[in-house]
């Protein structure tokens, strides 16, 4: 058997020559996919980077690398399919299956998904660079706008990819399909009204500016720092470092306290003294606490210290004052200092703090 005869041998409908070429191609791709992806990423990186700037190619490869490897593998599979002899139809249980058609559809779909993933990862890289530049400016608006813009770019990429799949792969009439959306527009709007409300909420946040990225807010008991404003929700990093996601429509539809924009922090609480406290002692304690609040360097000059009520087990004194800063650490420090002063004042005047007690009188029956 000659070399040409061997190469023309048919195995499962494929010649030896075809099988060898495809095997070598797939082996090369699987062996060199990481290196090849790095080379491709390096070339792509040069398109989106400027000369003279810091080399961030490693970060670019970290973001795009896996997507590029997947795309390269899909390209190799697509080329292999064009080399192999794929039957147009096969019969299974008297049913004709269009093998060539379905394989072509699947491979083109995977190629589109792979290329879209690359574009999405490139968008993430561009977003990181924009955020770095935004952090160098004094305005916080650009810090908030960049993630919003990147999310918008990603949405458009996915929409365009979907339209390409419908038009180029499934041969659908995209123009007629878009026109037909007007007929079912009402149904779509009703089904997506929650998402639309959140989207409008995001626009309200950008226009009204109740807060910007980096502000500390208090929303319905959630206290934390705004990290990102997206299309649907806003991310808040709380004081205990948990990550809370709040729908945008909720943020614009309920009271929100922007602590960063406030000039003071308010402290309001009660202390309860025992019922055996002498009235004059009570007056002295109130006067001394008031004096401490007036003299403290980090409180304002309008504190409130008043005998407020007769509680079930205590004589309650209301204490209200403002700390001259919105810094949470300073606020906690000032509260601690004043609390120790109050403790010393109560002890020095011979009184004591009350705790829940109950006196039971038992009458002996006749």
Place of tokens 């009235």: 279
223 DSSP β-pair partners: 218
Tell me the CA distances in angstroms from 206 to 194, 213, 219, one per residue in order: 19, 11, 18
Neighbouring CB atoms inside 10 A of 151's CB total: 18
Q: How confident is the model at residue 126 (pLDDT cuts 50, 70, 90)?
A: confident
* Angle 333-336-338 from CA coordinates, rounded to 5°: 110
Which whole-number Å values give the CA distances from 159 to 154, 155, 286, in the listed order? 9, 6, 67
| Residues in Cβ contact with 245 at an 8 Å cutoff, skipping those fewer than 6 apart | 233, 234, 235, 236
Instruction: List all residues 6 or more positions away from 168 whose beta carbon is below 8 Å from its beta carbon.
Output: 108
134-166 pLDDT tens trace: 777 777 767 777 887 888 888 889 888 988 888
Average pLDDT over residues 341-351: 95
Give the orientation angle of helix 279-295 with respect to helix 328-348, to 10 degrees.
150
pLDDT in tens, 235-253: 999 988 899 999 988 988 8
Query: How many Å apart are CA 134 and CA 143, to the nearest integer?
Result: 6
Work out the pLDDT band at 189, boundaries 50, 70, 90. low
Please state, in angstroms and rounded to a whole number, the distance separating the CA atoms of residues 199 and 193: 10
Q: Cα separation of 66 and 244, whole Å?
A: 29
pLDDT > 60? residue 184: no
Continuous segment of H or E residues that includes residue 6: helix 3-7
CB atoms within 10 A of CB 236: 23
3-state secondary structure of 222: strand
How far is CA 257 from each of CA 86, 145, 240, 333, rounded to the nearest angstrom? 66, 21, 19, 21
Quote the CA–CA distance of 62 and 38 in Å, as a whole number: 9
Domain with CATH 3.30.70.100 in the chain: 265-348
Write out the DSSP string of 305-332.
EEEEEE-SSSEEEEEEEEES---HHHHH
Confidence of residue 214 (pLDDT cuts 50, 70, 90): confident
Distances 107 to 80, 165, 312 between C-alpha atoms, Å: 11, 12, 77
Looking at residue 345, its pLDDT comes to: 96
Residue 350: how many other CB atoms lie within 10 Å: 11
Q: Is-contact 6 18, C-beta < 8 A?
A: no
Domain 265-348 has CATH 3.30.70.100: yes
CATH number of 191-258: 2.30.30.60
Instruction: Provide the token pair at 292.
Output: 């401490």
Report the alpha-carbon distance of residue 195 to residue 247 in Å, rounded. 9
Tell me, what's the pLDDT at 212? 85
Residue extent(s) of CATH 2.30.30.60 domains in the chain = 191-258
pLDDT at 51: 60
Helix orientation angle between 57-83 and 16-48, rounded to the nearest 10 degrees: 150
Q: Which two tokens stand for residue 71?
A: 């795309």
- What is the Cα–Cα distance from 232 to 177, expressed in whole angstroms? 26
Q: Residue 95: what pLDDT?
A: 74
Q: Confidence class of residue 16 from pLDDT cuts 50, 70 and 90? A: confident
Rounded CA separation 299/331 (Å): 10
Largest CA distance in the chain: 129
Measured in degrees and rounded to the nearest 5, phi and psi for residue 239 equal -65, -30
Give the H/E segment covering residue 33.
helix 16-48
Q: pLDDT digits over 90-119, tens only? A: 777 667 777 778 888 899 999 999 999 999
Angle at 19 between CA 13 and CA 22, to 5 degrees: 130
């Amino acid at each position: 058997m000659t070399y040409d005869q061997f190469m023309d041998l048919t195995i499962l409908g494929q010649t030896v020559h075809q099988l060898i070429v495809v095997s070598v191609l797939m082996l090369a791709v699987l062996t060199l996919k990481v290196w090849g992806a790095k080379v491709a990423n390096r070339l792509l990186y040069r398109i989106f980077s400027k000369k003279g700037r810091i080399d961030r190619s490693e970060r670019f490869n970290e973001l795009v690398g896996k997507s590029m490897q997947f795309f390269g593998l899909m390209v190799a599979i697509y080329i292999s399919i064009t080399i192999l002899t794929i039957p147009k139809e096969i019969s299974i249980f008297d049913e004709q299956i269009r093998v060539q058609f379905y394989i072509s559809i699947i491979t083109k779909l995977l190629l589109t998904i792979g290329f879209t993933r690359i574009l999405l990862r490139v968008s993430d890289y561009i977003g990181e660079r924009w955020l770095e530049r935004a952090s160098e400016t004094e305005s916080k608006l650009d810090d908030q706008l960049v993630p919003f813009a990147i999310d918008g770019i990603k949405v458009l990429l996915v929409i365009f990819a979907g339209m390409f799949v419908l038009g180029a792969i499934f041969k659908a009439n995209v123009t007629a399909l878009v026109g037909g959306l007007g007929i079912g527009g009402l149904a779509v709007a009703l089904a997506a009204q929650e998402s639309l409300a959140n989207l409008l909420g995001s626009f309200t946040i950008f226009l009204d500016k109740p807060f910007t990225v980096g502000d500390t807010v208090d929303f319905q008991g959630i206290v934390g720092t705004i990290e990102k404003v997206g299309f649907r929700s806003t991310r808040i990093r709380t004081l205990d470092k948990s990550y809370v996601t709040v729908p945008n429509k909720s943020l614009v539809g309920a009271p929100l306290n922007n602590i960063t924009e406030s000039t003071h922090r308010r402290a309001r609480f009660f202390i309860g003294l025992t019922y055996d406290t002498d009235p004059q002692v009570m007056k002295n304690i109130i006067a001394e606490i008031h004096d401490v609040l007036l003299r403290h360097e980090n409180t304002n000059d309008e504190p409130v210290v008043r005998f407020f009520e007769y509680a079930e087990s205590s004589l309650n004194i209301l204490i209200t004052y403002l700390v001259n800063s919105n810094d949470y650490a300073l606020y906690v420090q000032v509260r601690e200092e004043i609390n120790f002063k109050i403790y010393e004042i109560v002890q020095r005047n011979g009184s004591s703090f009350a705790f829940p007690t109950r006196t039971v009188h038992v009458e002996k029956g006749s």
